[in-house]
Structure 1
Amino acid sequence: MAVYLDVIWLLNFCFDYLLLALTGILLKKSVKKRRLATGALVASFYVLFLFVPSLTFMTQPLMKLLYSVLIVYLTFGFTRFRSFFQCWLLFYFVTFMIGGGMMGAHYFFQQDMTVVNGAIATKSTGFGDPVSWTFVLIGFPLVWFFSKKRVENLETTRIHFDQLASVTIRIDEVSISAKGLIDSGNQLQDPLSGCPVMILDMTVHEANFSPAFIKKAKNITEFQEEGEGERWEHRLRIVPFRAVGQDHQFLCAVKPDEVMISLEGRSFIIKKVLVGLSFHSISGEKDYTCILHPKMLTGHKATAS
């Protein structure tokens, strides 16, 4: 059997480069291409150890461990032991994640059983199923891209949940409980009172308000006209705002008695705030049902909850 060592080496060099690049992306590190190429070059030399009898000792688990430390050091450098150790572990995680994805995809499309003369027969070579070069060349980039996107989505979800707080809005005897997202991009304020404005998803919490109040809140330009009285009518406010690509928009808001925010074992009670009423869903997955103004967590004394 002819073995094209140069082709195998080149393939491993490209794969090692992508694995190190993905590790750098997940670490949020800006790694120079020269260092990535150096690390990938050293990592690709491992192929030679499998074909040179005098270097077979490098295939021992301890030598593999030390060799991976060298690869990570050449690629990402060393600043602190903790950060280096995390980088080294993440490199192994990425390698196993991509390798496991490749093998999982291979066996997903592989058919190991056939029916011969009415009997079920299994196929096996004794050394595992061979993976074709075409499958590797196409599958590896796809698994690499898929893994990168999944990790980024998980990270985004974690960031969102790190910014979620328990919110209780009290208006007279009514108490509304919601999960709030702390949005640093929300800078909406009432121009008259200077109160920060949080946004409440009315598609979820509409049942806490009377039909007459909802009718007045939806018809912003008409809610001050004479008609059926509503006990919370005096709490209604109109807040002008700007959206991307839109000017001169208006948001109907209500003045609560207080808003209590519970976050990381602390509680904040805010009285100077307006609750904007959104009749469109603000979260497709309903992970949160209100958006908090960042100023609601500053300038207020926190108490242990």
Structure 2
Amino acid sequence: MSSGVIVTYQTGFGDGISWLFVLIGFPIVWIFSKRRMDQLVVQKIKYDEILPVSISVNNHVQQLMSFVDSGNQLVDPITKQPVIICDEAVMKGWFKEEEWENIHQVQQTLNFELIPEGWTDKFRIVPYQGVGGTSQFMLVLKPDWIRLTIKDNPITVDRVLIGIQFGQLSPDESYQCLLHPHLLKSIAVDSA
């Protein structure tokens, strides 16, 4: 106060409240914008494409065709890894006949003691809600990596799980795998 007038001193860098607003507001706006842009990228992806995929499990690689399934939103609730789904014909390629029968029994009984020796660290179960609204568990396998190719642009993903479909996904065998749409997000971002 000087002669009844309030006098302020300003350094030219703004007051503390303005900086507090910037420090709190900027990260919130950035997080919101990033989430929204990620959603837009995923929505722009064409979901009707069938893509070639290579999957490696225990250093054994299989080539197959996959369908981008916009309805597949299955993720492991603990690790937040997306789950792709492969049919029985593909999955059998990594196992002996006896091992495959044991894995089928594990899915039905959830008795993990039946998992073949040397495979126990590769398997998990993921809860999901079926079409009828019933809660169930899916047996999933951790691959070494998967490689997707879109318009001659390959991308390798190692943070993914493979859900086992005991049966055939496509009646005409045009694809053997249902891809999670968020796996394609990084490809779409790179090409944009």
Q: What TM-score, normalized by structure 1, do the two folds share? A: 0.43
Aligned to 1:177: 63
Moved over 6 A (4+): 301-304
Instruction: Report the residue type matching 1:190 in the other structure.
Output: D
Aligned to 1:11: none
1:277 aligned onto 2:164 = yes
Q: Distance in 1 between matches of 2:190 and 2:100?
A: 34
The 8 Å contact of residues 86 and 162 in structure 2, kept in 1 or not, is answered as yes
Deviation of 1:215 (Å): 2.9
Q: Distance in 1 between matches of 2:136 and 2:116?
A: 26
Structure 2: give runs of 5+ residues left out of the alignment.
1-45
Q: Summarize the Cα distance change of 1:241–1:198 in structure 2 as closer, same or farther, 3 Å threshold.
A: same
The 8 Å contact of residues 268 and 303 in structure 1, kept in 2 or not, is answered as no
The 8 Å contact of residues 99 and 116 in structure 2, kept in 1 or not, is answered as no
Kindly name which structure, 1 or 2, has the bigger radius of gyration based on alpha carbons: 1
Equivalences for residues 44-123 of structure 1 within 5 A: none
* RMSD, matched Cα: 2.5
Aligned to 2:82: 196
Give the alignment partner of residue 154 of structure 2, picking from 249, 255, 267: 267
Q: Distance in 2 between matches of 1:301 and 1:172?
A: 29
Q: Distance in 1 between matches of 2:166 and 2:116?
A: 22
Higher strand proportion: 2
Q: Summarize the Cα distance change of 1:203–1:228 in structure 2 as closer, same or farther, 3 Å threshold.
A: closer
Aligned to 1:287: 174
The 8 Å contact of residues 167 and 262 in structure 1, kept in 2 or not, is answered as yes
What secondary structure, in the 3-state scheme, does the structure 1 residue paired with 2:53 have?
A: strand
Structure 1: give runs of 5+ residues left out of the alignment.
1-158
What secondary structure, in the 3-state scheme, does the structure 2 residue paired with 1:277 have?
A: strand
Deviation of 1:208 (Å): 2.6
The 8 Å contact of residues 187 and 196 in structure 1, kept in 2 or not, is answered as yes
Q: What TM-score, normalized by structure 2, do the two folds share? A: 0.67
Higher helix proportion: 1
Give the alignment partner of residue 236 of structure 1, picking from 123, 127, 135: 123
Report the count of equivalent residues.
144
Deviation of 1:204 (Å): 4.5
Deviations 1:178-215 (A, max 9, x none): 10001111101111110000000113441332234423
Instruction: Report the residue type matching 1:224 in the other structure.
Output: F
The 8 Å contact of residues 99 and 115 in structure 2, kept in 1 or not, is answered as no
Deviation of 1:303 (Å): 8.6
